[in-house]
Chains A and B, each alone.
Chain A
Amino acid sequence: MALLQIENVTRRYGALAAVEDVSFSVEAGEFFTLLGPSGCGKTTLLRMIAGFEAPDAGRILLDGIDLAGTPAERRPVHTVFQSYALFPHMTVAENIAFRLKMAGKEPQTVKVGVKEALAEVHLEDKADCFPHELSGGQKQRVALARGLVNRPRLLLLDEPLGALDAKLRQEMQIELIKLQKNVGVTFVFVTHAQQEALALSHRIAVMREGHIEQMAEPAKLYSFPHNRFVADFIGHINLFEVIVKEATTGHLRLTASGLGEIIAPPPDGVKAGESGWFAIRPEQVCIGQRHDVELKNRFTGTVCDYLYIGDVTTYKVELENGTLIEALMANSEPGRARFFEVGDEVTVAWRHDAGHFLDE
C-alpha cells in the first residue's frame, strides 16, 4: 500500500478551485515532486496534507488511514516552509529540539537527537547561534534538520530552495538528494523550477490550474510529455502544427503545412486525419551544412539568430516555410562561440524516432 494517497481532493476559495479533483499516491521512500507555475495550487495541496487546510471534497490517507479528523500537530508529517519559519527567539539547537520536546522525549534523548540532526546537516558548530546569525543556506539546513529530527513519515518541502542563489541552490540540491537517501524519509517537494524537479525527483506531477496534467519519472516526462503545456513547461521545445497522414505500428507520417513530411514515432491510438502538434527538443535537432547530415527528417533553412550560453549555443533557424526551429549544439572547440553565422544556409535534421505527436 502506498504511504500517501490523495483521492479526488478539491479545495475551493470562493469561486476559484485552487485544487480540483486531484488524485495521486506516493510510495514510502520516494522523492515526489509537485511542479507547476505560480498559482497552480501546489502550496494549497501541501497545506492540506500538513493539516492547515481541509479539503472541500476527497480524502487524504496516510498509511491507509484517513487524516480528516487529525489536526496538524498530531500528523506524523512535517513541513519545511519556503521562508524557513525558524523560531527567531531560539538557538539552532533549541529550534531542532522543539519537535523532540513536543513529543515528550527525555532531556537526554533530546540532546542526542539534536546532536545527530546537526551532524546530518553539517552544522555542529552553529548549535548555539540564533537564526539571524545564519546565512540563507544555513537556515535552510536548520529547517531541514528540524523537520527530520523526529523522523516523520512524510516531509513536505514548499519551494525550500527558492530563496537561495543559483550556485548554493545547486549545492543544496545535491545535499538534499543525499540527505533523503540517508534518512529514508519520504519527501513531497514543491517547486516551480523544472530543472530542480528533474534533478531531484523520483517522480514528478506537473500541475496546472489545480489539476495534474501528467505524472511520470523525470526522463519520461521530459521525453514524452502528454500535451503542449507539459512539453512547453519542462525545458524548451519546438512545436509544429501538423496533420496525421498515415499511422502504422512502426511510424507516424505527418504533414506540416508548407514544410513537407515528418516521420515520427507512433503513439497509441492516433488515426490518420487527426490534427495536432509535432514536438521536438532543440538538442535532438542536428544542425549542419548541407552535406554532413544523413537523417530522414531533413529541412533546409537560414540561421537568423543564435544565443551563446557557454557550454552550448542555441541557433534559431528559419525554415523554407517561415517556421522557426531551435537547434542546440555543444561548443566542442575551445574558444569558439558558434559554428554558424546569421544568414548561413544550413540543414536541420533529426532521427525518425525523435520527437513526438501531441493531440492537445
Chain B
Amino acid sequence: MRNKWLWVASVFVYAFLYLPLVIVIAYSFNDSRLNAEWVGFTLHWYQVLLNDEQMLRAALNSLLIACTASGIATVLGTMAGIAIHRYKLKLLPVLVITPVAMPEILLGVSLLLFFIQVLNLTLGMLSVLIAHITFCIGFVAIIVRARLAGMDESIFEAARDLGATPWQTFRLVTLPLILPGVIAGALMAFTLSIDDFVITFFTAGVGVATLPLQIYSMIKIAVTPEVNAVSTLLMMLTLGMIVIASRISPEAIKGNA
C-alpha cells in the first residue's frame, strides 16, 4: 500500500519536473506559429533559427563566454579547492563558497555596482566574463575539494618522499587523482555559465546579448516556436554536459549539485 503511494507520488514529481520540458521540445517541432495545438512535424523552426543572425551572434557570445569563463574558473577553482583542503583555513571556504549560496540577484546587483562605480568598466563581454568566473569558481572549488576529501594524505607525502618536487607531485600525482573532479567542475561551470540569466542581465549592458538574454527579449514579444527550438538545443547541450560530468565524477555531482 505504502509502496503504491510512493510510486504515485514520484510519478507526479517527475511529471511536474519534466512535462514542461517535454512540451517545449515537442512544440519546437510543431508546424504552427502558435504554441497551442499540434499540427504536424517540421524542422522549419530550426531552419529559422539558423538564419536568425541576432540569435547566432548571441549563441556565439554565450559559447565564447562559457568556454572562457569555465576555463579560467576551473583553473582558479581547482587551486582554491586544493588550498581549502590543504591549509584547513576557516575563512577561505566561506569566501569561495559564498557566491554559490548567495541569491543571484544580489550577486548581479553588487557586481554591476562594482563594475560601474569602482572599476569604471564599460559593461560588455568583459564584465559578463568576470561575473561568470566569479560565481563558477565556487562550484569548481567545492567539487575539487570533495574529491580530495576522501583521499589519503600520505599519498602526496609519499610522492615527495620519493623525490618528486612540489610541482612534480602536483603534475604526476595530485592532478591525475583529482582530474575527474576538475573535469566535472569544468562541465558544471560551462553549463552554469551558458544558462545564466540573472547575473548576465545585470552585467551585460546594452551592447551584448547572450542566448538566455536573447530568448528573454524574444518572449517579451511572443513565444514563437523558434524560442522552443533554441531552448531545446540549449537543453540538450546542458543535459549532455551533466551526463558526462556525472559519468566522470558521480560523487561530485551527487554531493553538490
Mark A residues whose CB is within 8 Å of B. 50-52, 71-74, 77-79, 81-83, 85-89, 98-99, 102-103, 146-147, 150
A-B contact pairs, 13 of them (CB 8 A): A73-B164, A73-B165, A81-B154, A81-B157, A82-B154, A83-B154, A85-B154, A87-B173, A88-B155, A98-B159, A98-B172, A102-B162, A147-B162
Chief secondary structure at chain B's binding surface: helix
Roughly how many angstroms separate A51 CA and B158 CA in the complex, as a whole number? 11
Contact B155 A146 (CB under 8 A): no
Indicate which residue in A51, A82, A89, A146 contacts B162 across the interface (CB closer than 8 Å): A146
Top 6 A-B residue pairs of the complex, sorted by shortest distance between their CB atoms: A102-B163, A85-B158, A85-B154, A99-B162, A81-B154, A72-B160
How far does the alpha carbon of A259 sit from the alpha carbon of B163 in the complex, in Å?
62
Contacts of A83 in B (CB 8 A): 152, 154
Q: Which positions in B face A, CB cutoff 8 Å?
A: 152, 154-155, 157-165, 168, 172-173, 176-177
Residues from chain A with a CB closer than 8 A to the CB of B158 are: 79, 81, 85-87
Known: A87-B155, A88-B155. A78 touches B173 (CB 8 A): no
Of the candidates A52, A87, A89, A99, the one whose C-beta lies within 8 Å of that of B163 is A99
Chain A residues whose CB sits within 8 angstroms of the CB of B161 once the complex forms: 50-52, 72-73, 77-79
Chain B's nearest CB lies how many Å from the CB of A51? 8
Chain B residues, CB < 8 A from A98:
159, 162, 164, 172
Residues of A within 8 A of B163 (CB): 73-74, 99, 102-103, 150
Q: How far is the CA of A72 from the CA of B166 in the complex (A)?
A: 10
**Nearest residue in A to B162 (C-beta to C-beta)?**
A99
**Complexed CA–CA distance, A141 and B164 (Å):** 21
Q: If the complex has contacts A87-B173, A88-B177, are A73 and B155 also in contact, measured as CB distance less than 8 A?
A: no
Chain B hits for A72, CB < 8 A: 157, 160-161
B175 smallest CB distance to A (angstroms) = 10
Distance of A86 from chain B, by nearest CB (Å): 8
- Chain A positions within 8 Å of B154 at CB level: 81-83, 85
| Most chain A CB within a 10 A radius of its CB, from B161, B165, B173 | B161
